[in-house]
Chains A and B, each alone.
Chain A
Amino acid sequence: MIEVEHLTKEYGDFRAIDDISFTVEKGEILGFLGPNGAGKTTVMRILTCFFPPTRGKAMVAGYNCFEDSLNVRKRIGYLPERVPLYEDMEVADYLRFVAAIKGTPAKEVQRKAARVMDDCGLGEVAHKPIKAISRGYRQRVGIAQALVNDPEVLILDEPTVGLDPKQIKEIRKLIKDLAGRHTVILSTHILPEVSILCGRVIIINKGKLVAVDKPENLRAEGSRRTYLRISGEARRVEEELARLEGVSGLTREQAADDTQAFILAFTDEKRGRQAINSMIERNHWDLIEMRPIEASLEDIFIKLVTREEA
Chain B
Amino acid sequence: MNPRNIGLILTRELKSYFSSLTVYLVIVMFLLMTGYFFYNLLATFSVVSVQAQADPMLARQYQLLNINETVIRPLFGSISIILLLMTPLLTMRLFAEEKKTGTIELLLTFPVNDVDVVLGKYLACVVVILAMILLTATYPVIIVVLGTPELMPILTGYLGLALLGAAAAALGVFTSSTTENQIVSASISYGLLFFFWLISYSVPLVSAGLGQVLAYLSINEHITSLSKGVVDSEDLIYYLCLVALFLFLTLRSLETNRWR
- Find the B residue at minimum CB distance from A73: B111
Task: Give CA–CA (A187, B233) in the complex, Å.
Answer: 58
Chain A min CB distance to B210 (Å): 41
Task: Give CA–CA (A84, B109) in the complex, Å.
Answer: 12
- Interface members, chain B 216-260 (any A CB < 8 Å): 258-260
Partner of A87, one of B101, B108, B112: B101
**Interface 9-residue window, one of B14-22, B170-178, B183-191:** B14-22
Let me know if B102 and A84 touch, CB within 8 A.
yes
Let me know if B110 and A102 touch, CB within 8 A.
yes
Q: How many A-B residue pairs have CB under 8 A?
A: 64
Given contacts A73-B111, A84-B101, are A11 and B260 in contact (CB under 8 A)?
Answer: yes
**Interface 9-residue window, one of B4-12, B123-131, B142-150, B154-162:** B4-12
Measured between beta carbons, the chain A residues less than 8 angstroms from B104 are 84
- Find the A residue at minimum CB distance from B109: A48
Let me know if B16 and A80 touch, CB within 8 A.
no
Measured between beta carbons, the chain A residues less than 8 angstroms from B40 are none
Indicate with 1 or 0, residue by residue over A83-127, a CB within 8 angstroms of chain B CB atoms. Answer: 011111100010001101111000000000000000000000000
A70 CB-CB contact with B under 8 Å: yes
- Interface members, chain A 43-67 (any B CB < 8 Å): 45, 48-52
Let me know if B258 and A50 touch, CB within 8 A.
yes
B212 CB-CB contact with A under 8 Å: no
Let me know if A73 and B103 touch, CB within 8 A.
no
Indicate with 1 or 0, residue by residue over B88-101, a CB within 8 angstroms of chain A CB atoms. Answer: 00000000000001
Given contacts A51-B258, A52-B259, are A80 and B105 in contact (CB under 8 A)?
Answer: yes
Given contacts A50-B258, A101-B5, are A86 and B103 in contact (CB under 8 A)?
Answer: yes
- Find the A residue at minimum CB distance from B257: A51
B66 CB-CB contact with A under 8 Å: no
Let me know if A84 and B106 touch, CB within 8 A.
yes
Let me know if B110 and A88 touch, CB within 8 A.
no
B44 CB-CB contact with A under 8 Å: no
- Find the B residue at minimum CB distance from A51: B258
Task: Give CA–CA (A188, B211) in the complex, Å.
Answer: 63
A284 CB-CB contact with B under 8 Å: no
Indicate with 1 or 0, residue by residue over B5-48, a CB within 8 angstroms of chain A CB atoms. Answer: 10011001001100110000000000000000000000000000
Let me know if B106 and A80 touch, CB within 8 A.
yes
Chain A min CB distance to B115 (Å): 12
A42 CB-CB contact with B under 8 Å: no
Chain A min CB distance to B120 (Å): 10
Task: Give CA–CA (A88, B102) in the complex, Å.
Answer: 14
B202 CB-CB contact with A under 8 Å: no
Measured between beta carbons, the chain A residues less than 8 angstroms from B19 are 88
Task: Give CA–CA (A11, B108) in the complex, Å.
Answer: 19
- Find the A residue at minimum CB distance from B117: A101
- Find the B residue at minimum CB distance from A98: B110
Task: Give CA–CA (A52, B255) in the complex, Å.
Answer: 11
Given contacts A11-B260, A52-B258, are A101 and B9 in contact (CB under 8 A)?
Answer: yes
Measured between beta carbons, the chain B residues less than 8 angstroms from A85 are 103, 106
Let me know if B111 and A70 touch, CB within 8 A.
yes
A145 CB-CB contact with B under 8 Å: yes
Let me know if A102 and B111 touch, CB within 8 A.
yes
Chain B min CB distance to A207 (Å): 17
A74 CB-CB contact with B under 8 Å: yes
A307 CB-CB contact with B under 8 Å: no
A29 CB-CB contact with B under 8 Å: no
Let me know if B109 and A88 touch, CB within 8 A.
no
Interface residues of A (CB under 8 A from B): 11, 45, 48-52, 70, 73-74, 76, 78, 80, 82, 84-89, 93, 97-98, 100-103, 145
A-B contacts besides A82-B105, A88-B16, 16 pairs, CB < 8 Å: A50-B108, A50-B258, A52-B259, A73-B109, A73-B110, A78-B106, A80-B105, A84-B101, A84-B102, A84-B103, A84-B104, A85-B106, A88-B15, A97-B12, A101-B9, A145-B106
